[in-house]
A and B are shown apart, each in its own frame.
Chain A
Amino acid sequence: MSDDKHPEEQILQEGDPNTTGHVWDGIKEFDNPMPRWWLWTFYGCIVWAVIYTVLYPAWPLVNGATAGLLGYSTRAEVAEEIATFDAVNDPLRVQLESTELADVSSDAELHNFAVQGGGAIFRTWCAQCHGSGAAGAVGYPNLLDDDWLWGGTLDDIHYTISHGIRNEEDLNAHYSQMTAFDEILSDEEIDAVVAYVRNISGQEADATLASTGETVYLDNCASCHLDDGTGDRFIGAPNLTDAIWLYGGDEAALEQTVRYARFGVMPSWQNRLSESEIRSVAIYVHSLGGGE
Chain B
Amino acid sequence: MSASQQPPQLYAAREPIFPKRVSGAFRNLKWIIMIVTLGIYYITPWIRWDRGPSLPDQAVLLDLGGRRFFFFWIEIWPHEFYFVAGLLIMAGLGLFLFTSALGRVWCGYACPQTVWTDLFYTVERWIEGDRNARLRLFKAKWDARKIRLRVIKYITWFLIAVATGGAWVFYFTDAPTLLVDLFTLNAHPVAYTTIGILTATTFVFGGFMREQVCIYMCPWPRIQAAMMDEDTLTVAYRDWRGEPRGKHRKGADADQLGDCIDCMACVNVCPVGIDIRDGQQMECITCALCIDACDDIMDKIGKPRGLIDYMALTDEANERAGNEKKPIWKHIFRPRTILYTTLWSAIGVALVVLLFVRSPIDVTISPIRNPQFVTLSDGSIRNTYDLRIRNMQHDDREFHVSITSDEILRVELEGTSTLGVTVPADSTQLQRVYVIARPVDPAAEADVTDFRFWVEDQVSGERTFGDTVFNGRGN
Contact = CB atoms under 8 A, between A and B. Distances in A.
Interface stretch (B45-53, B116-124, B132-140, B377-385): B377-385
B9 interface: yes
A146 B378 CA distance: 9
Contact of A145 (B10, B212, B375): B375
Contacts of B278: 5-8
Given A8-B279, A17-B1, A39-B11, A135 B374 contact: yes
B149 interface: no
Given A17-B5, A38-B216, A33 B10 contact: yes
Interface string A4-24: 011110000001010000000
Interface in B355-413: 368, 370-371, 374-379, 382, 384
B11 A1 contact: no
Interface string A33-50: 111111100000000000
Interface stretch (A71-79, A163-171, A237-245): A237-245
Given A17-B1, A105-B415, A287-B415, A34 B374 contact: no
Contact of A135 (B1, B13, B370): B370
B309 interface: no
Contacts of B374: 135, 142, 144-145, 289
A38 B217 CA distance: 10
Contacts of B209: 37
Interface in B428-456: 432, 434, 439
Contacts of B13: 36
B14 interface: yes
Pick from B11, B13, B379, B434 the residue with the most CB of A within 10 Å.
Answer: B11
A133 B368 contact: yes
Given A8-B279, A243-B375, A244-B375, A34 B370 contact: no
Contact of B377 (A8, A15, A34, A242): A242
A61 B368 CA distance: 48
B382 A35 contact: no
Nearest to A7: B278
Contacts of B277: 5
A8 B280 CA distance: 11
B8 interface: yes
Contacts of B434: 289
B11 A35 contact: yes
A259 to B, nearest CB: 25
A264 interface: no
Contact of B382 (A36, A244, A287, A289): A289
B64 interface: no
A239 B279 CA distance: 94
A256 B420 CA distance: 47
Nearest to B381: A243
Given A7-B278, A17-B1, A131-B370, A244 B11 contact: no
Interface string A268-292: 0000000000000000000101000
A35 B216 contact: yes
Contacts of A32: 12
B14 A36 contact: yes
A35 B212 contact: yes
A176 B209 CA distance: 83
B414 interface: yes
Among B10, B215, B370, B377, which residue has the most Cβ atoms of chain A within 10 A? Answer: B377
A17 B6 CA distance: 10
B296 interface: no
Given A242-B377, A243-B379, A33 B8 contact: yes
Given A31-B8, A33-B8, A289-B434, A135 B371 contact: yes
B378 A242 contact: yes
Interface string A244-258: 100000000000000
Contacts of A35: 11-12, 14, 212, 215-216
Contacts of A1: 243-244
Interface in A138-180: 142, 144-147
Given A37-B14, A289-B434, A202 B370 contact: no
Contacts of A133: 368, 370-371
A128 interface: no
Nearest to B245: A5
A132 interface: yes
A1 B1 CA distance: 28
A204 B9 CA distance: 95
Contact of A147 (B371, B377, B414): B377
Given A34-B12, A35-B14, A36-B13, A287 B279 contact: no
A33 B9 contact: yes
Nearest to A39: B11
Nearest to B212: A35
A243 B378 contact: yes
A283 to B, nearest CB: 11
Nearest to A144: B374
Contacts of B376: 145-147, 243-244
A36 B379 contact: no
A146 B377 contact: yes
A5 B13 CA distance: 23
Contacts of B382: 144-145, 289
A35 B213 CA distance: 11
B432 A287 contact: yes
Nearest to A2: B244
Contacts of A39: 11
Contacts of B212: 35, 37
24 contacts: A17-B8, A31-B8, A33-B9, A33-B11, A34-B10, A35-B12, A35-B14, A35-B216, A36-B11, A37-B14, A37-B209, A105-B415, A132-B370, A135-B374, A144-B382, A243-B375, A243-B376, A243-B378, A244-B377, A287-B415, A289-B374, A289-B382, A289-B384, A289-B414
Interface of A: 1, 5-8, 15, 17, 31-39, 105, 131-133, 135, 142, 144-147, 202, 239, 242-244, 287, 289
Interface of B: 1, 5, 8-14, 209, 212, 215-216, 243-244, 277-279, 368, 370-371, 374-379, 382, 384, 414-415, 432, 434, 439
Closest 8 CB pairs of A and B: A133-B370, A242-B377, A135-B371, A243-B379, A33-B12, A36-B11, A147-B377, A144-B374
Given A8-B278, A38-B11, A144-B382, 10 more contacts: A8-B279, A17-B8, A33-B10, A35-B216, A38-B216, A131-B370, A133-B371, A135-B370, A145-B376, A242-B377
